[in-house]
Amino acid sequence: MAEAVLEAKDFKGDVHPDWCPGCGDFGVLNVLQRALAESGLKQHEVAVISGIGCSSNLPGFINTYGMHTLHGRSLPNAQGFKLANTDMTVVACGGDGDGYGIGVGHLVHALRRNIDMTYIVMNNSIYGLTTGQTSPTSGFGMKTKSTPFGNPEVPLNPITLALGSGASFVARAFSGNPKQAVDIFKAAIAHKGFAIVDTFSPCVTFNKVNTAQFYRDNTYDLNAEGHDTSDFMKAMEVANRDTYGDRIATGIFYQNERPCYEAQEKDTLSVALAKQDLGISAANAEALKASFK
């Protein structure tokens, strides 16, 4: 008998999301559930690992393996998970403060390391969980709780950061454009290497500038305009031109199927940690498990 094909609803968790009504993270969750189902994956084949923040609550709302870790530390945990069980599809997720602020050091090294996993950053250009402070992607001059006279810092450009750090897959999506976002997420998951998807996910409570309507009015589909995703210099040019201009590109900026970390460490990882013999008897293993109850 052929195995049943899963649908997005099969990846729906038992806990209902507690985000603010209208939050862009609802859209990201829906898109990820659809992308996993359309990729032909089963729930037990996927792990979703997050840091801290509104968006980092996502693992609790999806029916897969999951971990809710520390602020800015989703990537070390996700990379460890992937290397311990290379058969798993691993998706890390979090927000712009989590990933581009406290976690940016981990991000740079994950990009160049190129472990086969996907990182979805829900970028709302604000710290939402702590009620509205300037984040690394908040616009110059933006007035927030922490910058009442206007943000004095130039916002970080996630796309040029990723490209400059040796990323093999760089994309941007918008949660309010689910058709395109599903295609981007599926491509990122299928990519053999580290894939980052900067995803506009508007905060309806604390960011009244970068709203869903703002992104509807100012984004365009880069790939629909014939962009060559193998051209690194073109990707960098578009990222520099569009990110802070009148038009903001979404889509796949760059993809290069270079060898992933696991392929370079094939001798060390020939037998995944999850599949190695523990070297203890079955009785001792049961006693050890019982001690944690």
Q: Which of 122, 121, 116 is nearest to 88 (CA)?
A: 116
At 256-281, the pLDDT tens digits run 989 999 988 877 777 777 777 778 88
Report pLDDT digits (tens) over 96-143. 999 999 999 999 999 999 999 999 999 999 999 999 999 999 999 999
What would the two tokens of residue 202 be?
A: 């508007």
What is the Cα–Cα distance from 95 to 50, expressed in whole angstroms?
Answer: 9
Question: Could you list the residue range(s) of the whole structural domain that residue 119 is in?
Answer: 8-291
Is residue 282 situated within a structural domain? yes
In this prediction, residue 125 carries a pLDDT of: 96
Is residue 265 included in any domain, yes or no?
A: yes
What whole-number distance in Å separates Cα of residue 54 and Cα of residue 204?
A: 12
Residue 202 in any domain: the answer is: yes
Is 221 within a domain? yes
pLDDT of residue 280: 85
pTM for this prediction:
0.93
Question: How much is the pLDDT for 105?
Answer: 96
Q: Is residue 3 part of a domain?
A: no
In total, how many domains does the chain have? Answer: 1
| Sign of the dihedral through C-alpha 57, 75, 98, 196 | negative
Specify whether the CB–CB gap between 42 and 87 falls below 8 A.
no
Domain membership flag for residue 2: no
**The predicted structure's pLDDT at residue 2:** 58
Q: Residue 1 falls within a domain, yes or no?
A: no
Residue 266 vs residues 83, 262, 272: alpha-carbon distances, Å: 11, 6, 10
Is 43 a member of any domain? yes
Kindly state the greatest CA–CA separation across the chain.
66
Residue 153, token pair as written in the block: 């810092």
Can you list the residues of the chain whose pLDDT is less than 70? 1-2, 243-245
Q: In CATH, what number is assigned to the domain containing residue 20?
A: 3.40.50.970
Report which of 121, 42, 113, 123 is spatially closest to residue 79, judged by C-alpha positions: 113
